[in-house]
Structure 1
Amino acid sequence: MSTRVVITGMGIYSCIGTNLEEVTASLMEGRSGIKIDPERKPFGFKSPLTGMVPVPDLKKELSRRQRISMGEESEYAYMATKEALTNAGIGASMLQEREIGILYGNDSVSKAVIEATDIVREKQDTQLIGSGAIFKSMNSTVTMNLATILGLKGVNMTISAACASGSHAIGLGYMFIKQGLQDLIICGGAQEINPYAMASFDGLGVFAEDTDAPETASRPFDVKRTGLVPSGGGATVILESLDSALQRGAPIIAEVVGYGFSSNGGHISTPNIEGPAKAMKRALEQAGVTPDEVDYINAHATSTPIGDANEGKAILEVFGGKPYVSSTKSMTGHECWMAGASEVIYSTLMLQHGFIAPNINLQEVDPELAELNLISSTIRQEFDIYLSNSFGFGGTNSAVVVKRFK
């Protein structure tokens, strides 16, 4: 029999809270983390909106040698992972004694690359960049830093799959453990929020520009949605084989039962219906779950006209209008490489605490999506199974099915 895979720890560092307790309260209250960044308009942005995440102070946590190789996304990931390890009851001795792996989603580094390049342009001397710059500027910066700091000895890879990166990291972690290749993996996703990271995205004209009320700018599934709001942070999920978790008496939060993936094979940025539907169907098949058994779907829906519409149609094709549907991006904005991991955490917190978080700012549902069972205000509801969708540029799709552990 294949190995069962459970979640034994979670950690979050996001614009709606920098720990699990704060995030749970924000989800329950439908609290937005979207703000106006005063630096963006002078920088040249069309939209000044962003999810605001505080900069961690790691001077008391890590040595200078460790810090100089860490960029913004690595700092967020460290904070999330620290909470997740504590949550899972994993201490320093276990990190050294066990073969623990890391699979983390990250698909770009901007600030570190630009800062290093600026030094060379100004000084015309590459030696002045500094010894930590190379480790800050690689896509694998999160995994190389965390693996070194924590002394990890298992699988060590970064998953680069656009805005599905965090979800694919969890899905691949699930598969590694299910196949018996590892029994404990740190999975997650991270995204820097500085202007350098979002400038080219803003240039595409896909960001919402509603500055009168920033907290209402992200409006997934609403007929008046105008675009996404960028965001970021770090999110970590500890995946473990059931045998390992039981043997060490770990807290078992939930069970990952299915992972589906696909590629649209079409336009580089415009999503379709067939690809997402295929990923969801594959996740259900692997989980051995029928569509009517899924209680809640945390939609990828980013508040873009075409993206939300096509995902909604894919959900209706696979599930009909039964499961509750909401997009937590209405509160967080689009956390990009982090989103697939953070939304598994958001949904698992709902599973733990018996509620379904709202799709805030949903005042008038898009008529094309009227059959979806959309939630616009928090409901108290015990449920057993959810599916989380994540899609990205290039047509990459990921769907993860999680259920209450029994």
Structure 2
Amino acid sequence: MKRKMLFQLFFLEVIIIGTVQAGKLCDFAEKFPCKGSHCLPSPCKGKGITTTTEDILTSSTAQTSEDMPSTEAVGSTNNPPAYSSGKGVSTTTEDILTSSTAQTSEDIPSTEAVGSTYNPLEAVGSPTVESLYTDCQEVYDAGHTQDGVYTIMPTGWPGSPFNVSCNMENGGGWTVFQRRTDGSTSFYQNWTAYKEGFGDSRNLWLGNEKLHYLTNQRNYKLRFDITTSSGSAKYAEYTKFQIESESSNYTMNKLGSRSGNTGDQLSYNKGQQFSTHDRDNDGCVSFNCAEKHRSGWWHSDSWCSSCNSNSYCYNFQYSSKCKSTCTTENLNGVYNGGNGEMIFSHYHTYCNVQFVEMKIRPSS
């Protein structure tokens, strides 16, 4: 039995160690061949090692830990790196030798599993740049059809890979860059915050710099979904959407034709630079639109010289007699805010919107 156990260990070592070391063992086996009915088939066939794990494990009756020697008995302390099954389970030489349950070749990962390229969203450890997706469309195309947070790396992005929320409804592959669900996160943020992004899973702005790289790596469409104050679901989808770089103040330079049942006023924001309360790029000389609307946005100067007295929810008071607006679509306003400051869409049709999600997907 001892001789048999030693030969079992010999066959395991042939697989685990390199070819050079295996060659030495084969030389030994050639000089001192095993004779008798208890001997196992030789792993040294021809000039190479061709015996597989399955050959070893199926060449005799399955053994338990009581039959097999431990690694301590062998005296080796240099076990090779653990095999990974791809499911977070690692198997070492010691695991194999001390297993209390009889194992077959299906229990031990094959050598093909070692060094395999794993999906970066499922792999343990840091993914390589080459294996990352560039947007949620690629995530969807790879078979990940569930909503969730995934790691992406847009083409040309100079920073580290970053996480995004992927929406897999309505055809799938939507990369979310804005979400509003409650008032826990203020969207009255400065230029740097809007550039780099802020928020959490409930309320977020991905960041204008990321949005620029995303929308410039290929052609994209825009969609946003809202839930009105009365609980109705509405949406708008645009065939084109692109944001320029910071040197152009993240101008919305592309916005295609619209379909849906809200958002028809966003066309007035096309061609506008992004503005925040500390970076006034709206072109309006009367006031700072981002300050009045309490939001970073592509505010327009189309109506800032107007003076009216109506009480539409998009209007703010800027003098004792005059009210005005810089946009009739403001999805970054104050959650449950007052007139002119609140989240509103479709002119003054939907005021104090309770849910918003803005996202992009390749258009071709």
Q: In which range does the TM-score fall when normalised by the shorter chain?
A: under 0.3
TM-score by length of 2: 0.26
Larger helix fraction of residues: 1
Higher relative contact order (CA 8 A, sep 6+): 1
Task: State the TM-score, normalizing by the size of structure 1.
Answer: 0.24
